[in-house]
Amino acid sequence: MGPTPAGLGVVIPADRLDASTLAMQLAADICRRLDLEEVTFHDNQSLLVTTLQAHGNSGRRWVVKIPRSANRKAHNLAKQARQSLAGKACKFTCNNKSHAGSCPVLQALQSGQWEEGFSLVSVLCF
């Protein structure tokens, strides 16, 4: 079975470039915890994407620039999730039948500490 798509929306109160950089660090940490080998990161910050492409694109990890309009949609969805779940524990849902009884995604995301200022709001595994 090949790779399946997954998504991560992050809201970080900072200027756009700083927020994108911090979000990319968080995404890379999540990928490392999940032992993901084939990953494509999307962002609309030209400077960040160009820098990461110069240092990080390989056959298995890619950084792709997307239009600001596509990133705005992701930002709005992440913001809505954060507002609706503010102060609550992370909402975790696993719909992957092969994970019945024990979801490796949940285990990986619950292990260890996150960088200061990051907290998971909602996770959907499928």
Q: Is residue 87 part of a domain?
A: yes
Q: Is residue 38 part of a domain?
A: yes
Range 71-92 average pLDDT: 71
Q: What is the pLDDT of residues 50-76, one digit of tens each?
A: 888 887 666 677 788 888 787 777 777
What's the helix, strand, coil split of the chain in %, to 5?
45, 15, 40
Q: Is residue 5 part of a domain?
A: no
CB of 96 within 8 A of CB of 125?
A: yes
The pTM score is 0.64
Q: Is residue 1 part of a domain?
A: no
Boundaries of domain holding 79:
16-125
Range 91-120 average pLDDT: 77
106 or 9, which is more confident? 106
Q: Is residue 74 part of a domain?
A: yes
Q: Is residue 3 part of a domain?
A: no
49 or 57, which is more confident? 49
Total domain count, the chain? 1
Q: Angle 53-57-61 (CA atoms, 0-180°, nearest 5)?
A: 130
Q: Is residue 41 part of a domain?
A: yes
Q: What percent of the chain has pLDDT over 90?
A: 0
Quick one: residue 41, left, alpha or beta (phi over 0 = left, psi -120 to 50 = alpha)?
beta
